[in-house]
Structure 1
Amino acid sequence: MLDKIKDFIAQPIPQQILYFEEMLTPKLIQIAYWLALVAVVWTGLERIFSGGVAGLLEGVVHIVGLAIAARVVAEIIMLFFQMQNDMELLRKNSEGGATKKKVTKKASKK
């Protein structure tokens, strides 16, 4: 039984999560952003179809405004994690002085 647990922990993904080698929250923020967009569009469409002409304008403004607001909030939260990554790179680059090889930033997935 212990061997199975050790084998599971030795795998890359559980090891990254259990030993905090990789941040999990940025991935969760992306999922939360997409769920927020779905909710914004859903409630915006409800306003469009239930409010007549005024509801049409209100629904469109609702969708556009809250979609932008959700994006800004997600980017601000992600900014803190990016700052943490950059500070970690600075720390790694400054520890050994000129004798150690410089650590480069990983290419972001876009």
Structure 2
Amino acid sequence: MCHDGEECRQALDEADAAPDVVVLDVMMPRMKGTQLLRTIRRGELAVDPEVPVVMLTSRGQEADVLKGLDSGADEYLTKPFSPNELLVRIDRLVEA
């Protein structure tokens, strides 16, 4: 678990970074989740650029959802959400 976007970027750039899924908040301090997601998808980090990514946000307007998905998110959940819903969506991505 990372405390901000920059810490997450550094963790995903470690040579042994191989998460099954990445969960990002859109509004993380020091680096927004959408910016980090674009960095992942462009292959600029050691992590597999195709790793499944779930975006979490309190911004649920259609434009926000479309921006998150356009950035490369596999799933987009708006707060508040049930922890069970998050787990089901993660399970679905990992099993795919």
Q: TM-score range by the shorter chain?
A: under 0.3
TM-score (norm 1): 0.22
TM-score (norm 2): 0.24
Instruction: State the structure with more CA Rg.
Output: 1
- Identify, as 1 or 2, the structure richer in helix: 1
- Identify, as 1 or 2, the structure richer in strand: 2
Q: Choose between structure 1 and 2 for higher RCO, CA contacts under 8 A separated by at least 6 residues.
A: 2
